[in-house]
Structures are given as structure tokens and as C-alpha cells.
Chains A and B, each alone.
Chain A
Amino acid sequence: MYPFNLMNTSLLLSGGGVEVGVHYYWDIAGISLHGQVFIVMWFVIILLLGAAILGTAKLDRIPEGWQNFMESVIEFTSDIAKNQLGESFYRPWVPFISTLFLFIFGCNWAGAVIPWKLIELPEGELAAPTNDINTTVALSLLVSIFYFYGGLRKKGLGYFKRYIQPTPILLPINILEDFTKPLSLSFRLFGNVLADELTVTVLTILVPLIVPLPIMGLGIFAGSVQALIFSTLAAAYIAEAVE
């Protein structure tokens, strides 16, 4: 499937090379899973769960410490949903949008901030889970399922009327849109995260000190912006279906 490793064939080999499409496979019940993705993903999930439990363990009328922090986080993420879905519809979608934002944000930052390369795996390397196309495709298919669910629950079968609006001539384009939405969502996130990691790796091979630092900073910034974009777009697609 992945026939060659680009940097292995070049002069850049001295620093270890760039690995794309090399995975640490787990064979479970005849299905091979990308283990390195799961390890980092579980780490992120435990981190988020820990923050949530710490934030809700001792609820006070006047918030302090973790509760204060988590409340401001949730306020930020529910603002994303509110801006797209509008004041009267947004409440039921806050958990989904917030989860998407926090999970992608956690994944991107886990890849950018934590020095995973110190931990050796038999094959492949630990990195942001979002640099595997399977993760981002799963997330964007979830978004697709949810906007269909939202539209169908709101309007019943009348939801499909929007395919022939404004004119029935646009039917193929409207159907095509359902496929391009998850495609562009997943490729955007995957490409951005992978591009950041590749740039940092190539620069580190060329100049190991100081020079990659600004690009790493850019990677941290881009990671948070991409999480924001993904959740904003998810909310916008749901709003389009629900309205």
C-alpha cells in the first residue's frame, strides 16, 4: 500500500527520515488497527475526562479554580454553537459541538506540545491522532450523520424537499454537496495537521536547533484554529439542515 518512504531515498536520512503511512498495527479479531492513534487518543480522552471531573466535583454557587476554568471553556464552545444555530435552537447541540471542539483541540495540541518522539514504538511513531485520515473521516462522517438526524427530526421527510430547492435542476449539485461536505471537512483537518508535523520534521532534520521553533508555534496556533473551524462548520451544516 505504501511503497516507499520518500526521505529514505534522499540525503536527509541522517536525522531519521519522515514517516508517513507507517503504523503500529494492532490485530484485534482480524481487523488491523492503527495503535499509535489509539494510544494518543485515549490519553486525550483521559485528560478531557479528568478536567471535566475536576470541574464538576465540587460545585459552588460562586465558581473557583477548575470549575471557573471549565465554565469559561464551555461558555466559549457554546458560543460557537450559538453563533451558527441561533439563540432558540442551539441548546441541544451544545454537547456535540463542544465535544468536537475539545476533542480536536486536545488531539492537535497533544501532537504539537507533548514530545512523543521520546517514546519508542516498534513501528511508526506517536503523534497527533488527527494526522491519520481515518480519525478525521470518522469525525466528519459523525457530523454528516448528525445533520441528517437533526434535519429529519425537525422536518420529517419534508427535509428532502431542500434537494429540489430553489429548482429541481439543482438536484445533482445538492446531492453532491452531501458528499463534498465530509470530504472537505476531513481533508482540511488532516492536511493541516499533517502539514504542520511534516514541516517541523523536515526543518528539524535540516537544522535541529532554534529554527523549527517558530514553525512549532505556528503549529500550535493552527491546531487551535482548525479545531475552531471544524466545530464552526459542523454547527453551520447542522444549522443549514435544521432551519
Chain B
Amino acid sequence: MDSIISAASVIAAGLSIGLAAIGPGIGQGQAAGAAVEGIARQPEAENQIRGTLLLSLAFMEALTIYGLVVALSLLFANPFTS
């Protein structure tokens, strides 16, 4: 395999997961903060808030997972190496 291609793939894999983690990290922090605020204001709604929070956290996490899928396909199933 071409060493330039493998080096570029490894760098791209690292970048893709790293960059994909920034946005969802900020988003998850804001969502969790808002949920804590909501629970502090209305402790009796805690169960409902927790359910909604988990669901929306999983949606945001999906964005990072897309980056991960790209990284994995670059590392394990690279189309440019054959």
C-alpha cells in the first residue's frame, strides 16, 4: 500500500472523529444544562425530563457516530488502497 495514502487516511480518521465531537459536545452540554435547570425548577417532572434528555442526547451523539463511521471506513475499509 502507498504510504502517503495510509498516512493521509490515518490523519483524516483522527480529524473526522475529533471535529465531529466538537458540535455535539457543545449541544449535549447545553441540553444537559437546560435539563438540570428544568429539574431544579420542577423536581416532580424529573422522570419525563430524563426520558426526553436521553432521547435527544442519543440524537446528538449520532452526529459524532457519523464521524466515527467515516474514520472506521478510512482505517478498515479504505477504498483508495486497492
- A30-38, A100-108, A166-174, A226-234 - interface stretch: A226-234
- A45-53, A56-64, A187-195 - interface stretch: A187-195
Q: Determine if B81 and A3 form an interchain contact, defined as CB atoms under 8 angstroms apart.
A: yes
Task: Point out the residues of chain B lying under 8 angstroms from A198, CB to CB.
Answer: 72
1/0 per residue, CB under 8 A from B, across A1-44: the answer is 11111100000000000001100000000000000000000000
Chain A: minimal CB distance from B62 (Å): 4
Interface centre among B54, B61, B66, B78 (most CB of A within 10 A): B61
In B42-62, the 8 Å CB interface with A consists of 54-55, 58-59, 61-62
B12 in the interface, Cβ–Cβ < 8 Å?
no
Interface SS of chain A: helix, strand, loop or mixed?
helix
Interface SS of chain B: helix, strand, loop or mixed?
helix
Bound-state CA distance A21–B59 (Å) is 26
Q: Name the residue on A nearest B66 (C-beta).
A: A187
Chain B: minimal CB distance from A189 (Å): 9
- With contacts A20-B72, A229-B55 taken as known, whether A3 is within 8 angstroms of B78 at the C-beta atoms is yes
Q: Determine if B76 and A191 form an interchain contact, defined as CB atoms under 8 angstroms apart.
A: no
Q: Determine if B65 and A229 form an interchain contact, defined as CB atoms under 8 angstroms apart.
A: no
A184 in the interface, Cβ–Cβ < 8 Å?
yes
- Interface range, B side: 10 to 19
Chain B: minimal CB distance from A127 (Å): 15
* Contacts between the two chains (Cβ within 8 Å), count: 51
Bound-state CA distance A195–B75 (Å) is 14
B31 in the interface, Cβ–Cβ < 8 Å?
no
Chain A: minimal CB distance from B20 (Å): 11
Chain B: minimal CB distance from A228 (Å): 7
Q: Determine if A229 and B69 form an interchain contact, defined as CB atoms under 8 angstroms apart.
A: no
Chain A: minimal CB distance from B43 (Å): 23
- With contacts A4-B1, A225-B54, A228-B55 taken as known, whether A195 is within 8 angstroms of B65 at the C-beta atoms is yes
Bound-state CA distance A184–B69 (Å) is 11
B36 in the interface, Cβ–Cβ < 8 Å?
no
Task: Point out the residues of chain B lying under 8 angstroms from A6, CB to CB.
Answer: 75-76
Chain B: minimal CB distance from A69 (Å): 22
Chain B: minimal CB distance from A220 (Å): 14
11 A/B residue pairs, CB under 8 Å, sorted by A:
A20-B75, A20-B77, A184-B66, A187-B65, A187-B66, A187-B69, A191-B68, A191-B69, A192-B62, A195-B68, A225-B54
Residue positions of B touching A, CB distance < 8 A: 1, 54-55, 58-59, 61-62, 65-66, 68-69, 72, 75-78, 81-82
Residue positions of A touching B, CB distance < 8 A: 1-6, 20-21, 184, 187-188, 190-192, 194-195, 198, 225-226, 228-229, 232
